[in-house]
Amino acid sequence: MWNKILDASIFWSFDLSGYLRHEKDFNEAYSFPKESRALITGGTSGIGQAAALELIKQGVQVTITGRNLIRGEALEKSYPDLKFKQMDMAEWSDFDALVNQVDPLDYLVLNAGGMPEKFNTNKQGVELQFASQLFGHYILTHKLVRAGKLKSGARIVWVTSGGMYLKALDIKTIFKNQKYNKVDTYANVKRAQVTLLPFFKKEFPDQIVTAMHPGWAATPGVDEAIPEFAKKMSGRLRTPLQGADTILWLLSTKKKIESGELYFDRKKVSPHFFWFTKKSSTQSNKLQELLKKQLIDL
Ligand SMILES: NC(=O)c1ccc[n+]([C@@H]2O[C@H](COP(=O)([O-])OP(=O)(O)OC[C@H]3O[C@@H](n4cnc5c(N)ncnc54)[C@H](OP(=O)(O)O)[C@@H]3O)[C@@H](O)[C@H]2O)c1
């Protein structure tokens, strides 16, 4: 009963105390087959980096991507089992080089995410958060599958955010947004990722596609994008590795994982807390068409 009340508070669930409370029920250690391979987008910092380093510790060969050459190369130098490929997730034409380079993967973590201060679009006219976190990840996954670089049964994890619980999907702002607000756009993109989970399940029937949200973790991204929140929450945020725990568990668990579902702290959770985020399927269908169209146009 007490746990239910604390979980409903959100604050005492997404924060460090929530992790420490939920962790008491975790009963599986990570375990990965020898010579398995993972690709993590946005592995140069925060949660993605923590996941990459833990996978390496577990004997997995890891490729990370990111835009920051200095951080990526420094990691590559420090960890012989880690490869770095510099890549912006909004620059879709760069994906082929990575796809050609990797050996067939067992795990794909779609983690890259940031909050640009100003509205901007990529070459295809798509707003940068949508272009990188939604379209980019979708296109990259398709390219990997087409090239036979994502094994049958491979696990794909989308890293979304609890911020989406406050946002209903709004696809009007994908190409134009005169009232751009970075946090609102971020929540919208994360809502889009979660809304499309059933679609991804159908698009990638040979793989297991899930999403997770990490709660609130202390990362360079949080410090930079929402410094007031980081300051207020000082001492109450999860570590990057605690934020990455459900990613690592979803990749490694022997329990039955259902494709198309959202997870938090190793449990399947609802994508909605509030009625106003449950909109008609029209927006979702249109978004699916937009994604498929970008694939054809590439
Ligand atoms: N920390 C939290 O409390 C929290 C909460 C909810 C959700 N999340 C999600 O967790 C994921 C990781 O966030 P984090 O907190 O660890 O942030 P972070 O420390 O800023 O790490 C973000 C990573 O994404 C990469 N990235 C960002 N934009 C990119 C782009 N356009 N192209 C390629 N790489 C890009 C960054 O690499 P470069 O800088 O090298 O490009 C970096 O490696 C994100 O999807 C975020 O939305 C985090």
Question: In angstroms, what CA-CA distances link 96 with 10, 63, 100, 245, 296?
Answer: 40, 15, 6, 30, 15
pLDDT at position 139 over 80: yes
Q: How far is CA 40 from the centre of its chain?
A: 9
Confidence tier at 259 by pLDDT (50, 70, 90)? very high
pLDDT at 188: 97
d(CA 277, CA 295): 28
pLDDT at 78: 97
- Is residue 291 a part of any domain in this protein? yes
Instruction: Answer yes or no: is the C-beta of 85 below 6 A from any ligand 1 atom.
Output: no
- Is residue 288 a part of any domain in this protein? yes
- Is residue 45 a part of any domain in this protein? yes
Q: Which mutation among 67, 133, 250, 264 tests ligand 1's pocket best, with the greatest number of atoms within 8 A of CB?
A: 67
Instruction: Answer yes or no: is the C-beta of 193 below 6 A from any ligand 1 atom.
Output: no
With H, G, I as helix, E, B as strand and everything else as coil, classify residue 125. Answer: coil
What domain range is 221 assigned to? 32-297
Q: Longest Cα pair distance anywhere in the chain, in angstroms?
A: 52
Give per-residue pLDDT as tens, 142-181.
999 999 999 999 999 999 999 999 999 999 999 999 999 9
What amino acid positions are annotated as catalytic residues? 186
pLDDT at 10: 87
Q: What is the mean pLDDT of residues 232-237?
A: 96
Regarding pTM above 0.85, the answer is yes
Q: How many domains does the chain have?
A: 1
pLDDT at 47: 98
Give per-residue pLDDT as tens, 51-95.
999 999 999 999 999 999 999 999 999 999 999 999 999 999 999
Q: What is the mean pLDDT of residues 227-231?
A: 96
**More confident site: 3 or 175:** 175
Q: What is the mean pLDDT of residues 223-239?
A: 96
- Is residue 27 a part of any domain in this protein? no
- Is residue 5 a part of any domain in this protein? no
pLDDT at 149: 98
Q: How far is CA 96 from the centre of its chain?
A: 20
Residue 209 maps to which CATH number? Answer: 3.40.50.720
pLDDT at 2: 82
Confidence tier at 221 by pLDDT (50, 70, 90)? very high
d(CA 257, CA 155): 10
- Is residue 17 a part of any domain in this protein? no
Instruction: Answer yes or no: is the C-beta of 159 below 6 A from any ligand 1 atom.
Output: yes
pLDDT at 1: 79
Number of alpha helices (DSSP H) and beta strands (DSSP E) in the chain: 14, 8
- Is residue 13 a part of any domain in this protein? no
- Is residue 26 a part of any domain in this protein? no
Q: For residue 181, report the phi and psi dihedrals to the nearest 5 degrees.
A: -130, 125
d(CA 62, CA 102): 10
